[in-house]
């Protein structure tokens, strides 16, 4: 594959590192131009740099949805979305999306998406040099990508959000309804589920997997360590440096802080 100049939009440092490791295998000659974690940063970068050959983008960034980037500026670069959220697929394909890959990202999926991009680069008609700046992203798709390819790239229908967990209590395994989960906390590579009545269970999932399995209207990843369900959030307290202190019930062992960049997204989630 010819050398690609790639822009990455990803607000989770481990996910960005993993993506770059997979890229080094799938496209060894690719050049990562920048890794940005906010909508504001992406808009500034795109306004001051030549268009990259490809954008690899998560949906949820530190200050909002990456879809806001494509709503606020004309982006002529093709986009591959890598995300834990399947409900944004149709919105994503109104941008220049050529694929929508659900996390955890796997090497064969990335290789297939890059192969699709390579085929499109060879087959698509050239964009007129004097294309007006007002050209919409949807017009770009019509001119450069076939509807059949876009439909083919849509993810297969997903199972409903996880309804229950099988947890261990002594020598027994108990089905625990997801609605009873107040929060999930990751520490030392172990994820603990806390119920609203204060019980604790270890579950065999990572937070990244849980983000994909849980209903995002009810569950939100407050930081790298914790996912909370809406009823568990008692209040937000302003904290030093623009951060938010989140008071949960039951209370975790450590304070739960939300970064300044993520504070707006948390407030939007709570407001519904």
Give yes or no for residue 127 having a pLDDT over 90.
no
Angle (nearest 5°) at CA 222 between 218 and 225: 115
Q: Where in the chain are the domains?
A: 5-153, 164-271
Nearest to 95 by CA among 117, 120, 78: 78
Q: Which two tokens stand for residue 205?
A: 């999932």
Mean pLDDT over 201-222 rounds to: 92
> Could you tell me if 84 and 61 are in contact, meaning their C-beta atoms sit under 8 angstroms apart?
no
pTM of the model: 0.51
Buried b (16+ CB within 10 A) or exposed e, 107-122: eebbeebbebbeeeee
Q: Which two tokens stand for residue 163?
A: 């309804």
Give yes or no for residue 120 having a pLDDT over 60.
yes
Interatomic CA distance for residues 79 and 92, integer angstroms: 9
> Could you tell me if 10 and 84 are in contact, meaning their C-beta atoms sit under 8 angstroms apart?
no
Q: Which two tokens stand for residue 70?
A: 């494509």
Give yes or no for residue 124 having a pLDDT over 70.
no
Query: What pLDDT band is residue 129 in, cutting at 50, 70 and 90?
Result: very low
Q: Which two tokens stand for residue 4?
A: 């690609």
Mean pLDDT over 102-120 rounds to: 86
Mean pLDDT over 15-22 rounds to: 91
Chain segment 148-180, per-residue pLDDT in tens: 444 454 545 455 788 999 999 888 899 999 999
Mean pLDDT over 94-110 rounds to: 85
Chain segment 43-65, per-residue pLDDT in tens: 999 999 999 999 999 998 988 88
Residues 6 or more apart whose CB falls under 8 angstroms from that of 204 comprise 191
- pLDDT recorded at residue 171: 85
Could you give the 3-state DSSP secondary structure of residue 15?
helix
CATH topology of domain 164-271: OB fold (Dihydrolipoamide Acetyltransferase, E2P) (2.40.50)
- pLDDT recorded at residue 105: 84
> Could you tell me if 55 and 28 are in contact, meaning their C-beta atoms sit under 8 angstroms apart?
no
Question: What CATH number was assigned to the domain covering residues 5-153?
Answer: 3.40.50.2300
Q: Which H helix or E strand runs over 117?
A: helix 107-123
Rg (CA), the chain: 20
> Could you tell me if 232 and 196 are in contact, meaning their C-beta atoms sit under 8 angstroms apart?
yes
Query: What pLDDT band is residue 264 in, cutting at 50, 70 and 90?
Result: confident
- Percentage of residues in the chain having pLDDT higher than 90: 47
């Amino acid at each position: 594959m010819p050398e690609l100049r790639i822009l990455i939009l990803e607000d989770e440092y481990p996910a960005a590192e993993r993506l770059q490791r997979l890229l080094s295998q799938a496209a060894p000659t690719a050049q990562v131009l920048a890794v940005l974690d906010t909508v504001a940063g992406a808009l500034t970068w795109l306004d001051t740099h030549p268009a990259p050959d490809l954008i690899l983008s998560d949906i949820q960034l530190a200050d909002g949805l990456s879809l806001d980037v494509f709503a606020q500026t004309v982006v002529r670069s093709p986009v591959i979305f890598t995300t834990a959220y399947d409900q944004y697929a149709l919105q994503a394909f109104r941008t220049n999306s050529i694929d929508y890959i659900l996390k955890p990202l796997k090497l064969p999926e990335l290789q297939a998406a890059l192969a699709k991009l390579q085929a499109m680069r060879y087959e698509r008609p050239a964009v007129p040099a004097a294309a007006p700046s007002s050209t919409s992203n949807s017009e770009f798709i019509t001119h450069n990508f076939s509807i059949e390819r876009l439909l083919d790239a849509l993810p297969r229908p997903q199972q409903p959000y996880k309804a229950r967990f099988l947890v261990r209590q002594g020598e027994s395994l108990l089905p625990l309804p997801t609605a009873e989960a107040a929060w999930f906390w990751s520490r030392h590579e172990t994820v603990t589920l806390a119920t609203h009545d204060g019980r604790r269970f270890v579950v065999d999932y990572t937070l990244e997997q849980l983000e994909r399995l849980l209903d995002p209207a009810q569950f939100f990843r407050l930081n790298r360590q914790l996912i909370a369900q809406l009823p568990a959030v008692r209040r937000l307290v302003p904290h030093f440096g623009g951060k938010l202190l989140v008071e949960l019930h039951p209370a975790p062992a450590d304070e739960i802080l939300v970064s300044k960049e993520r504070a707006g997204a948390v407030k939007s989630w709570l407001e519904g």
